Amino acid sequence: MIPLGHYLVVSAVLFAIGTAGVFLRRNLITILLSIEIMLNAVNLSFVAFGRAQGTVDGQIITFFVMTVAAAEAAVGLAIVIALFRHRESLNPDAFTSLKW
Amino acid sequence: MEQATLRFVIQLGIIGLTFFMLINASALLVLAERKIMGFMQQRYGPYLVGPHGLLQPLADILKLLFKEELRPKGADKWLFTLAPIVSITAAFAAFAAVPWGAETTFFGLLDTPVKLGVADVNVAVLVVFAITSMGVYGIVLAGWSSNSKYSLLGGLRSSAQMISYELAYATALASVIMLAGSLSLRSVVDAQAGYWLGFIPRWYLFLQPLGFIIYMIAGVAETNRAPFDFPEAEQELVAGYNTEYSSVRFALFPQAEYINMTTMSAVATDLYLGGWHGPFLERFGLGWVWFLIKVGVILFAYIWVRWTVPRYRYDQLMQFGWKWLFPAAVLNLIATAAFILYFNA
Amino acid sequence: MPEAVLFYVFAAVAIGASLLVIGQRNPMYSIMLLIASFGALSALYIQLDAPFVAMAQIIVYAGAIMVLFLFVVMLLNAPQEDAAQWDRTHPLRRPGVGRFGAMLAALLIVQLVWALVRVTDGGAAVGARGDVAELSSVRSVGRVLFTDYVFAFEATSILILVAMVGAVLLAAREEQR
């Protein structure tokens, strides 16, 4: 039997990796992928806690997180495509028009 | 030998047998396709190599193995080799959740019966669906990593077609699941045992005729077979996503396609045609013979359709999938739900 | 015992693949490694007696969302990171900044683990409570989803509709006038 803490550690490590990816990478696609890593880490936490409580609620919340992640990925990638058409670059530092 | 190790050995044997049969299925389908095509075109197929051409697939495979392994200069090193591996792995793995026979004790050799099939998962339908949707990556990566315009176009079109027809496929599946009340393929087959009025088998084919047609059409489109094989047809895009491949890497793609065909036929048999249930043979523990016969009939239908019907153009293909097949599948789902409510209230 | 071995193997694959994801220059490699990470997570879900969530993870995340990412990367055919001259002198590409960022991420892990283990009963085995057959059945998930959470379910379907319309609008080419 695996203690609950083990699953939470894995979830925390994945979340931190995702956060590091969002902050340290200069490519819009990789930033979106890091956000997906963070959402998955949260899913793992939910399912682990749901199992520890002995209910299915953890699994159900996971569905909603997955659905929201799918919607967010679709809209995010549409924005990336629109941005790329303007500047021919996927580097977030290339989009500085709103900077003072 | 004590029971536990005997059971373990027998289960390993079943896994090995399933793997062996899948490989043989793809080889035999190569020959069957050419022979049936030949007979439909009023000529013999291959008949020189071995009796009635039975060793022709062996000759084909030996020829492919001895060819030179090419890789275009601009091709991505890792992804070019990964693509056929993903295709063939997904093809084999999808069959792991498909049961092909009833429980058997091998004529009293075992104390408790063992199920004929690699794994009995309680969400088997979803497992098959999930792993076949992984097969899209093989095609997409092959198209992209070849660094050639025909491959890229073929790969993109092929994968867009596959993910479009997955919707109708899943909705047709959902209708059968509602009737059976379980996601486990073994339970779906067992729900089709027995007869109405003594002689009509309780197949879901009779309860879901539209669903069966939708499932077969979506299955043909999922495996990139004619009439939906525009992205890989020789006359259209050279050869689509596998243009730049040669030798072993190339051989894995058609093999993956034939194994996907076999998996689709096996799942269709389990869902709609009653799996391994049939008149006389079940008493002797030979239900799997019925399974083989039914899968063979569906595979024959696959090959028959390929050499009879002309090909769809790509935009017609996508329109058909989104505008006709998916709404029909949704209507079928709603009708099935109404039927269940009305008759089982 | 084999349960623990499987857990460590899959956890190692998930974490290792995610580490490689954020370190790749080529976004195609990142996507394939992330698919591997999702597969390992799916195996962890199966260990947590959630087979439906595991298969939904493969079908939705690894099979649909990642295909979407792959299509976008292929169609944009974007140049790789730090190909531009001004990008090579960016402060974040200097090793010092990268290492400081990695240290902060490690600090975040320590904080999260400390908080989580203190608040919950972190030593209790998962799987002590609850009936396994009922938890892992799709029927019970469906029943709770369509009774207790039906409002969230319907709201999510409207969310997906809005996202579809929005994505088509945002990515559409502007008409030449």
In a domain, A94, yes or no: no
Would you call C126 and A25 a contact, using CB atoms and an 8 Å cutoff?
no
What pLDDT is recorded for position B45? 82
Which one of A7, A30, A73 has the shortest CB-CB distance to C126? A7
What is the spatial distance between Cα B183 and Cα C16, in angstroms, rounded to a whole number?
Answer: 33
The CATH number assigned to the domain holding A71 equals 1.10.287.3510
What pLDDT is recorded for position C80? 62
What is the residue type of C116? L
Would you call A34 and C171 a contact, using CB atoms and an 8 Å cutoff?
no
Whether the CB of C64 is below 8 Å from some CB of chain B: the reply is yes
Would you call C63 and B136 a contact, using CB atoms and an 8 Å cutoff?
yes
In a domain, A74, yes or no: yes
Question: pLDDT above 70 covers what percent of chain B?
Answer: 97
**Number of residues in chain B:** 345
What is the spatial distance between Cα B101 and Cα B282, in angstroms, rounded to a whole number?
Answer: 10
- Decide if pLDDT at B139 tops 60: yes
What pLDDT is recorded for position B277? 87
Residue of A nearest to C7 (CA): A2
> What single DSSP character describes residue C125?
B
- At how many degrees (to 10) do helices C138-147 and A57-87 cross? 80
Q: What confidence category does residue C147 fall into, taking pLDDT thresholds of 50, 70 and 90?
A: very high
Of A86-90, B55-59, B95-99, C131-135, give the lowest mean pLDDT range: C131-135
| B100 membership: H or E segment, kind and range | strand B99-104
Task: Please state, rounded to an integer, the average pLDDT across all residues of chain B.
Answer: 87
What is the spatial distance between Cα C144 and Cα C137, in angstroms, rounded to a whole number?
Answer: 12
Which pair of tokens denotes residue B276?
């391994």
Judge residue B202's burial from the number of C-beta atoms within 10 Å of its C-beta, 0-12 exposed, 13-18 middle, 19 or more buried: middle
Task: Please state, rounded to an integer, the average pLDDT across all residues of chain A.
Answer: 90
Query: Residue written as tokens 């040669």?
Result: B246
Q: Which of residues 131-170 of C touch B (CB under 8 A)?
A: 136-138
Which one has a higher pLDDT value, C85 or B150? B150
pTM for this structure? 0.90
C87 contacts on A by Cβ (under 8 Å): 26, 91, 93
Would you call B133 and C63 a contact, using CB atoms and an 8 Å cutoff?
yes
In a domain, A9, yes or no: yes
What pLDDT is recorded for position C175? 66
Tell me which residue of B328, B106, B331, B334 sits closest to B217, measured CA to CA: B328
**Number of residues in chain A:** 100
As for how many domains chain A has, the answer is 1
C62 contacts on B by Cβ (under 8 Å): 134
Which pair of tokens denotes residue A43?
């899913």
Tell me which residue of B99, B83, B80, B100 sits closest to B91, measured CA to CA: B83
What pLDDT is recorded for position A18? 93
Whether the CB of B140 is below 8 Å from some CB of chain C: the reply is yes
Which one of B123, B144, B159 has the shortest CB-CB distance to C52? B123
Q: What confidence category does residue C90 fall into, taking pLDDT thresholds of 50, 70 and 90?
A: low
What is the spatial distance between Cα B332 and Cα B211, in angstroms, rounded to a whole number?
Answer: 7
Q: Which of residues 65-94 of C touch B (CB under 8 A)?
A: 67, 70-71, 74
In a domain, A97, yes or no: no
How far, in Å, are B196, B198, B305, B336, B341 from residue B344 at the CA level? 17, 22, 38, 12, 6
Which pair of tokens denotes residue C148?
């207790």
C77 contacts on A by Cβ (under 8 Å): none
Residue of C nearest to B127 (CA): C55
pLDDT per residue as tens digits for the range A30-78:
999 999 999 999 999 999 989 988 888 999 999 999 999 999 999 999 9
Find the distance separating the first CA and the last CA of chain C, reported in whole Å.
Answer: 69
Mean pLDDT of B254-274: 92
Would you call C72 and A37 a contact, using CB atoms and an 8 Å cutoff?
no
Q: What confidence category does residue A13 fall into, taking pLDDT thresholds of 50, 70 and 90?
A: very high
Rounded to a whole number, what is the distance in Å from the CA of C177 to chain A's nearest CA?
18
Q: What confidence category does residue C122 fall into, taking pLDDT thresholds of 50, 70 and 90?
A: low
Query: Count of CB contacts below 8 A, B vs C?
Result: 56
- Decide if pLDDT at C151 tops 90: yes
pLDDT per residue as tens digits for the range B33-50:
989 989 998 988 888 888
Q: Show the domain range for A65.
A: 4-87
In a domain, A17, yes or no: yes
Of B214-228, B261-275, C107-121, give the lowest mean pLDDT range: C107-121
pLDDT per residue as tens digits for the range C36-88:
999 999 999 999 989 999 999 999 999 999 999 999 988 887 666 555 555 55
> What are residue C169's DSSP bridge partners?
none
In a domain, A63, yes or no: yes
Whether the CB of B79 is below 8 Å from some CB of chain C: the reply is yes
